[in-house]
A and B are shown apart, each in its own frame.
Chain A
Amino acid sequence: MDIIINISGALCLFIGSFLCISGAIGILRFPDFYTRMHAVGVTDTLGAGMILIGLMFYSPDFLTFSKLVMILLLTLLIGPTTSHVLAKAAMKNGLMPELAKTDHDKNKDKEINSSNS
């Protein structure tokens, strides 16, 4: 029984940290704001959730366990909401996704970049 709990806890922790790292890679590699936010928003909610579930396997008593459950519920509520609000704020302030840009916009961006550098 102990071995099963140990292994499943470790597995959850591993998956969680892998997801968090992939989110971090995503924020560095993706081209524009929306895809980056997508990478972090999705992986962080699931990654943090998996890490919390992994920690639940290791929790010594019921009090710790229930606190972890509450944190999990909180992240499940807050994570997607913040991503939604961020995307909405960016959209409202006129930031266009890379794919929705026309060639004209792209040329303008290039001009701005070249004038900056």
Chain B
Amino acid sequence: MINIVLLTLLVVVAFAIIRMKDLFAVIMLLGIYGLLSASFFVAMDAVDVAFTEAAVGAGISTLLMLVVITMTGRSERTTRHKPLLALLVIIFTGALLIYGTLDMPYFSSADAPIHSHVTPRYINDSMEEIGIPNIVTSVLASYRAFDTFGEVVVIFTAGIGVLALLSVVRHPENNNKITTVNDAMHEQYLIIRIVTKILLPFILLFALYVQFHGDFGPGGGFQAGVIFAAAIILYAMLFGLNTARKVINQSFVQLIAAIGVLLYGCVGVVSLLNGGNFFDYNVLSDDPVTGQHLGILLIEWGVGCTVASVMIIIFFSFAGRREIQLHNKNVSDKDQESSL
């Protein structure tokens, strides 16, 4: 029953997103969509996935898109051409995909291949082989470590792409001017600034809790990284980019992003050198289970570092562009005034 309600709401929100022209409302609806799918995952007992969806889909992607919208403007441009060809291609691809699902086993059917030998193996043996209570983490970080490595590399590549396309050279002499504007705004944003300052340490602490609690409950590197980055983005939004840059050195963050991926890969290489397969943590220590613990801890750290720093990099790149845009606008306004 609750599944039907949630799925109906998802469809309604999806249509609203397509129909809306106001991009700000679209982003808010996307956040709602993420939250709804997170609650749908909770209803299906997939707490880890729900946590990730709530943190990434509803949280940080909404934030990053809001930053983008400050540069692009609020309303969607009206299309002049009729996108008939695109529609045809989409219908064709969709039909093919639906045709492909016909061969798949029915949803939750008991004799699906995944329920015949993969799932029982994980459920029965993972406690002995890996030795951590949360099966999802042992699947994600140990059995399927190679897939997760791919995901981390994708995130890292995204960060590099944003840096390559959007990184800007800043002129340090502008900083003082912006700082004085910030101080003038201080009184206006007093309440939210104080509440943020109270909450920030707890958000960071929560991120660390999620990072280390991934072995025992829902959580892990991805969610922890996103929460950590969200705290820093919140700080940067409220106190200005320059204040945030004083706290967080951008080149240091870029270094951390690379180190995270490197740490992850190194765990694999070390297990190769110790005579096992790539990402076979059993050989990391004398006792296989201790080796698994060590491996999972290390790669979760790698994931957390990379995710957090890539999110921070993306935010700083976009927001830095915005800052320069504003600055150029101010300068040109002043030029016009002086010429008048």
Q: Which residues of B contact A78 (CB under 8 A)?
A: 195, 199
Instruction: Please report which residues of chain A, range 8-43, place their CB below 8 angstroms from some CB of chain B when the two chains form the complex.
Output: none
Q: Nearest Cβ in chain B — how far from A8, in angstroms?
A: 27
**Separation of A41 and B195 alpha carbons in the complex (Å):** 17
Overall SS of chain A's interface = helix
B165 at the A interface (CB under 8 A): no
B191 at the A interface (CB under 8 A): yes
Number of interface residues of B (CB under 8 A): 6
B181 at the A interface (CB under 8 A): no
Encode contact with A along B102-118: 1 for CB under 8 Å, 0 otherwise: 00000000000000000
**Separation of A84 and B199 alpha carbons in the complex (Å):** 16
Q: Which residues of A contact B195 (CB under 8 A)?
A: 77-78, 81
What is the interface residue range for chain A against chain B?
Answer: under 10
Q: Which residues of B contact A85 (CB under 8 A)?
A: 191-192
Q: Nearest Cβ in chain B — how far from A84, in angstroms?
A: 6
**Separation of A85 and B191 alpha carbons in the complex (Å):** 9
Q: Which residues of B contact A77 (CB under 8 A)?
A: 195, 198-199
Instruction: Please report which residues of chain A, range 47-87, place their CB below 8 angstroms from some CB of chain B when the two chains form the complex.
Output: 74, 77-78, 81, 84-85
Q: Nearest Cβ in chain B — how far from A81, in angstroms?
A: 5
**Separation of A78 and B202 alpha carbons in the complex (Å):** 13
**Separation of A74 and B195 alpha carbons in the complex (Å):** 11
Encode contact with A along B263-301: 1 for CB under 8 Å, 0 otherwise: 000000000000000000000000000000000000000
Identity of the chain B residue whose Cβ is nearest the Cβ of A77 in the assembled complex? B195
Identity of the chain B residue whose Cβ is nearest the Cβ of A84 in the assembled complex? B191
Q: Nearest Cβ in chain A — how far from B62, in angstroms?
A: 14
**Separation of A46 and B202 alpha carbons in the complex (Å):** 22
Q: Nearest Cβ in chain B — how far from A24, in angstroms?
A: 14
Encode contact with A along B245-268: 1 for CB under 8 Å, 0 otherwise: 000000000000000000000000
Q: Which residues of A contact B198 (CB under 8 A)?
A: 77
Identity of the chain A residue whose Cβ is nearest the Cβ of B194 in the assembled complex? A81
**Separation of A78 and B192 alpha carbons in the complex (Å):** 9
Q: Which residues of A contact B192 (CB under 8 A)?
A: 81, 84-85
Q: Which residues of B contact A84 (CB under 8 A)?
A: 191-192
Identity of the chain B residue whose Cβ is nearest the Cβ of A82 in the assembled complex? B192
Encode contact with A along B177-211: 1 for CB under 8 Å, 0 otherwise: 00000000000000110010011001000000000
- Chain A residues with a Cβ under 8 A of chain B: 74, 77-78, 81, 84-85
12 additional A-B residue pairs with CB within 8 Å, beyond A84-B191, A85-B191 = A74-B199, A74-B202, A77-B195, A77-B198, A77-B199, A78-B195, A78-B199, A81-B191, A81-B192, A81-B195, A84-B192, A85-B192
CB<8 Å pairs between A and B, sample of 14: A74-B199, A74-B202, A77-B195, A77-B198, A77-B199, A78-B195, A78-B199, A81-B191, A81-B192, A81-B195, A84-B191, A84-B192, A85-B191, A85-B192
